[in-house]
Amino acid sequence: MSEPDEQDVDRDKDDRSERHRHEVRKRVAGRRLDKFIRHLHPRESRTAIQRYIKQGLVTVNGLPTKASYEPAPGDVVEVVLPPPPPSRLVPEEIPLDIIHEDQWLLAINKQAGIVCHPANPYQTGTIANAVAFHADQLSQGSDPFRPGIVHRLDKNTTGVMLIAKSDESHWRISRQFERRTTRKEYFAVCEGSVKRDGDIINKPLAPHPETTQRMVLPTSNPPRQAMFKEAITEYRVEKRFNGFTAVRLFPKTGRTHQLRVHMASIGHPLVGDGMYGGHTISEADLAGQGSSEPVFEYQALHARRLTLVHPILETTLVLEAPYSDRMTRLMELLAAHRSL
């Protein structure tokens, strides 16, 4: 049996990464560099080690090399191991527009441009970070980076969003969503003149197999591996304008991008929703003069009202969120310049 390889460890105080120095005492036939490092750092996967080697985080005698290199006696192998990912959410002082709060629930009027929770342990600046700073207690669930998050809104969708402060309120609200006993109402402005005053769109949706950023509808040649799920939306026309229609949307299911895809599927994408065929519009577009800056650079969609049974008090709770400044401005421009 060979003697243990010598090792020095130095922690980088700036990025918390660990720098390890190993001196090879004996060649072992067939022992590649990635296997050599894996033996000394068993917590790191071989795939991760191979990635570190490609990134230049591993050197032999001060030079980068390949994973297939076989260390020789006297070689000095230096390894920089990235810091472990955070194990808990970092509270951040981000302003919240609170529309309801009690000891069990928090409801906010979500602003545009902010995601609901981190997509990875390193992401910050989310609603979850903000509520972790605001509330002394939140429901935990199985994901430490989503405390209190009961449901989600798209990054640029504004309006009512619920946060649970206790595990009991969380599972009771979640059960209402699962049983579809809550009533969700959205407000949107779409392109074109919607023919019917109201209708129900029943079209299943699936994530696009090549990107998680888009949803797709069934076609004669559906994408491979597309897993379609039921998606139902009721819409009602609220007000008609020349070239545009304001609608109320009532989702019966809660699929990603459901309202945006469903309205686009009937030929009326939401204003500003470039992902699904919508276009940005400006004051100059609507009035023939004024600013050319887009009123909406994203989908004109707002979660206006959410009705549910309070999870603890068992009383009817109606939560309403005022329109954003951009939505208010868009409606003012339409009323002034595109009124029928």
pLDDT digits (tens, 9 = 90+) for 4-32: 455 555 555 445 678 899 999 888 877 89
The amino acid present at 14, given as its one-letter code, is D
pLDDT digits (tens, 9 = 90+) for 280-320: 999 999 988 889 999 999 999 999 999 999 999 999 999 99
Q: Are residues 227 and 335 in the same domain?
A: yes
Q: Which of 154, 197, 285, 325 is catalytic?
A: 154
pLDDT digits (tens, 9 = 90+) for 92-118: 999 999 999 999 999 999 999 999 998
Q: Are residues 189 and 319 in the same domain?
A: yes
Q: What is the pLDDT of residue 143?
A: 79
Question: Which letter does DSSP use for residue 282 in this model?
Answer: B
**CB neighbour list of residue 178: distance below 8 Å, 6 or more residues apart:** none
- Measured between alpha carbons, how far is 177 from 184 in angstroms, rounded to an integer? 10
> In total, how many domains does the chain have?
3
Residue-range definition of the domain harbouring residue 253 = 180-340
Q: State which of 134, 160, 179 marks the end of a domain.
A: 179
Q: Are residues 142 and 287 in the same domain?
A: no
What is the domain-level CATH number for residue 22? Answer: 3.10.290.10
Q: What is the pLDDT of residue 33?
A: 94
What are the b/e assignments for 127-151, b being 16+ CB within 10 Å? bbbbbbebbeebbebeeebbbbbbb
| pLDDT surpasses 50 at 212 | yes
Q: Are residues 201 and 259 in the same domain?
A: yes
Task: Give the full edge-to-edge strand order of the sheet including 18-23.
Answer: 6-11, 18-23, 76-81, 58-60, 63-64
Q: 328 lies in a domain?
A: yes
Instruction: Specify the pTM.
Output: 0.77
Q: What is the pLDDT of residue 121?
A: 80
Q: Are residues 164 and 196 in the same domain?
A: no
Question: Which letter does DSSP use for residue 201 in this model?
Answer: E
Q: Are residues 204 and 320 in the same domain?
A: yes
Least confident of 52-61, 119-128, 247-256: 119-128
Q: 301 lies in a domain?
A: yes
Q: 1 lies in a domain?
A: no
Q: Are residues 160 and 189 in the same domain?
A: no
Provide the CA 144 distance to its chain's centre, in angstroms.
Answer: 15
154 is catalytic: yes
| pLDDT surpasses 80 at 268 | yes
Residue 302 forms beta bridges with which residues? 158, 187
